[in-house]
Structure 1
């Protein structure tokens, strides 16, 4: 004997946030509201039921399929973040979230100086999200928003309210994700040559010309190069900006703890902890970025080489009509694994060191309670206290970096490769251990990993 379920079925979509009633075959008798409620109950749908739609279905005013229930989607919160404050030449404040600075490579090569007392960063406090509930009555929990304690960087202090970063010197800012430094600047008025030699500076380095092959530039802060970088070695504790591009011929290396911005890369060896932003082309290069790789300005093509990005890749064209082998990697890289291991090791070492220092400090305090300390013992007490403060700050900094790394790992299931124009054959796509080889030309597509399979979807 046929039942109501033989005539209707319910499909759940969007992680059970939407229920659609479909018709298997015509129902000979009249459908009642109770019939539909029975179907809903037995399917377990108890939330977000649209009674008006059900009534319209019964009255024949709506044809199937129809959305009969919708849950309440979760509202993601926003974690606290640090927003740099940039000053234009006229000293007007220009506040941005960091990415605002990187709109035009010509503009970001020269960063105006700040003076002692300037506010160079603002903490934007977290916003909590709201849990949702699906049509089955199940709560959809949002990830808790993260807070962080604003800490001073090099040559900066934190305001009493804990929300502003203030410069202690005249210099140029070098922002990181959760700390802002102000460094003095070293200027080279032209190309780097034998008269200047290699550079190792504890601040920002600004080279108004190019950097030829064989030279080394090391900066604690940012490196800005107005010309071309050839097969040289550049290492920055902050970000690197190269206006005229990189022509490395497979030599040298460029490493940045922050981001790298440049016009093009030809046969470069690049490693960045942040994002790689390229205006025009990446050709036959070895790229390893923990964040995103963006190459979608101008032609925006990536041809040849190996491109690895922790969070995703966006490009206009991948490969070329000559079917040059081009490889994309998205997800956990060896660099991420090594960093996680190093942070955990450093935290354990700091915890062990703090235990020893705390025991020594307690011993000194007990002795102090029994009588006056000698001058040498008083000096030792001050040194131990200072070392405890420094070690604690270092440990907390490593813990925050480890949490940031875990955020990166958590975001990887959502990582994607977006290709806005063409992807050519002989392009290999890797998501961790999963591989997909492109055999035919595709246009305007995105590659995602879903259920242990690399899927292709149209943009």
Structure 2
């Protein structure tokens, strides 16, 4: 059957093969390509003989290709999609639309495709020489993992409004709960939704992973309520974290002042003092201490948190003798002539005058905060709006600094240790779940093993918490500019001495900006 003829070539079809006869030169590959655009049913498969024939300008009947089927159908390897390609002209499609639609449906049926046929595409969106998806399976939807929701403790993050007023010092430092209060809940994992291939085969979803609620069994209990596992406090106290577990910590509330009526206080939990600490008295706690009296402290002996934070809403007048020490952070409105020592950060809202401040970082507000006189010692950075004063009171700032590469190496070294502890914790959790599924059937030896597994599990959680705290501490150092930083947002007055590592900068005229060290070089910008 003749497909195309002009003065240079003849294209014919016989038994599904395509032949060319070249009468004379003049037909190029470019011209032939334009000709074949009107003959989309032709597929050239023998390019080299065709090229030789066109170059020679003459040949007898030569096989160069084949006739494509009216409709090509392709099934994806995963049996999830079917694509077709219609090999004809727009005119042919328009004139034979009904029969082509029928042919497509017959091809789908013949191949056993019964799921996800896109009828609207077949009826209204057919185009020539385009890959068209005419059937699509339904993907399985994997189940969701168990959702764990916990009570979120108040964030201990100071901030100062633009007008200079502190809103941080109205924060809720300790979160008190009563017996029976909600502390968390668990929503079980879901099964997911099955899918189907284009052949109707069922695709099974992955069920969501179960997860255990982590809590201190001595102070928190789980209950089933309307199909949801709910955590509630067993005792009155303050919400805290023990490792990754939620717990209720012991809480001593002093409704008035600490003084003659109470004597000095040393408590193994958290302390909230709603008044103040009278002069000459001391307060010590294993955990957090919150002092809410608006008048603050004056001439107290000491305030010490062995393992937690200290929050002093009203500030402190030390009279040269008060010592405030926290294993973690100190948050204070203002400090006068006292010693503040923190394992992590000292956060000052307004000012420090004549104090000895020791911490990893000492942070006052970059615009409003003042560090006037005294000695400030930090590991990473010191930030304030004003350092010294117009009377040129001598103010010493010493930043020990650090080696950034060493900190990064130490941080990287925590990763395998953390991964190993996580793996151990997950294994213990699986073993605990296995024991708990047959708890009433355990013999004495198995009960002892169950108790040991729970103990080991809690040890791994504690280890994870320690590693996480260490990671957070190292990351806070890496947030420092260079390898030691002092930032003065507004003014550093004369008689301010800034030392970072072994490098010293004496301020002789008012200055501001960021001083930082890289190696043995001190920068100022």
Structure 1 residues 396, 265: closer, same or farther in 2, change over 3 A? same
Relative to 1, partners in 2 of residues 1:202 and 1:157: Cα closer, same or farther, differing over 3 Å?
A: farther
| CA-to-aligned-CA distance 1:121-158 (integer Å, 9 cap, x gap) | 99xxxxxxxxxxxxxxxxxxxxxxxxxx9964794689
Q: Is the partner of 1:187 in helix, strand or coil? A: strand
Given that 2:495 and 2:506 are in contact with CA atoms closer than 8 Å, whether structure 1 keeps it comes out as yes
Q: CA deviation at 1:201?
A: 2.8
1:317 aligns with 2:391: no
Match of 1:108 among 171, 186, 193: 171
Q: CA deviation at 1:282?
A: 0.8
User: Given the alignment, which residue of 255, 267, 284 partners 2:325?
Assistant: 255
Of residues 471, 479, 487, the one that matches 1:411 is 479
Q: CA deviation at 1:274?
A: 3.6
How many residue pairs match? The answer is: 311
1:267 to 337, 343, 346: 337
**Residue 279 (1) aligns with residue 349 (2):** yes
Asked whether 1:223 is paired with 2:274, we answer: no
Over alpha carbons, which structure has the higher Rg? 2
CA change 1:207–1:323 in 2 (3 A) is same
| C-alpha deviation, 1:314, in angstroms | 1.9
Instruction: For 1:264-413, list aligned pairs within 5 A.
Output: 264-296=334-366, 298=368, 300-332=369-401, 381=449, 384-413=452-481
Unaligned 5+ segments in structure 2 are 1-148, 161-165, 187-211, 429-441
TM-score (norm 2): 0.48
The 1:108–1:184 alpha-carbon spacing in structure 2 relative to 1, beyond 3 Å, is farther
Q: Which residue of 2 aligns with 1:188?
A: 254
Give 1:193 deviation, angstroms. 1.2
> Which residue, 48, 60, 85 being the options, matches 2:152?
85
Give 2:96's aligned residue.
Answer: none
Q: 2:301 is matched with which residue: 232, 237, 247?
A: 232
Taking structure 1 as reference, are residues 428 and 121 closer, same or farther at Cα in structure 2, changes over 3 Å only? Answer: farther
Aligned to 2:263: 197
Aligned mates of 1:411, 1:150 — CA distance in 2: 33
Q: What TM-score comes out, normalization by structure 1 length?
A: 0.54
Task: Give the Cα separation in 2 of the matches to 1:108 and 1:323.
Answer: 35
SS at match of 2:288: coil
Could you tell me how far apart the structure 1 residues matched to 2:269 and 2:236 are? Answer: 12
Of 468, 491, 508, the residue aligned with 1:422 is 491
Q: Which residue number corresponds to residue 315 of structure 2?
A: 245
Is the contact between residue 307 and residue 329 of structure 1 (CA under 8 Å) also seen in structure 2?
yes
Contact 1:174 1:238 in 2 (8 A): no
Q: Over aligned residues, Cα RMSD in angstroms? A: 4.7
Distance 1:331 1:166 in 2: 45
CA, structure 1 residues 450+179, in 2 after alignment: closer, same or farther (shift >3 Å)?
farther
SS in 2 for 1:323: coil
Deviates more, 1:412-421 or 1:445-454: 412-421
Instruction: Name the SS of the counterpart of 2:465 in structure 1.
Output: helix
Q: Distance in 1 between matches of 2:292 and 2:283?
A: 13
Deviation, 1:304, is 2.2
Which whole-Å CA distance do the structure 2 matches of 1:200 and 1:179 have between them?
25
Q: Would the aligned equivalents of 2:361 and 2:382 in 1 still touch at CA under 8 Å?
A: no
Which is worse superposed, 258-267 or 151-160? Answer: 151-160
Structure 1 residues without counterparts, runs of 5 or longer: 1-81, 87-95, 123-148, 359-372
String of CA shifts for 1:204-240, please: whole Å, max 9, x gaps: 3221222122423324234224142233222233322
Is 1:444 the equivalent of 2:502? no
Query: Could you list the per-position Cα deviations for residues 366-399 of structure 1 after superposition, in whole angstroms to 9, with x for gaps in the alignment?
Result: xxxxxxx996x66764554344334333333333
Would the alpha carbon gap of residues 85 and 389 (structure 1) be closer, same or farther in structure 2, given more than 3 Å must change? closer
Taking the aligned partners of 1:328 and 1:121, their CA distance within structure 2 comes to 48
- Written as runs of structure 1 = structure 2, the 5 A alignment for 1:7-22 is none
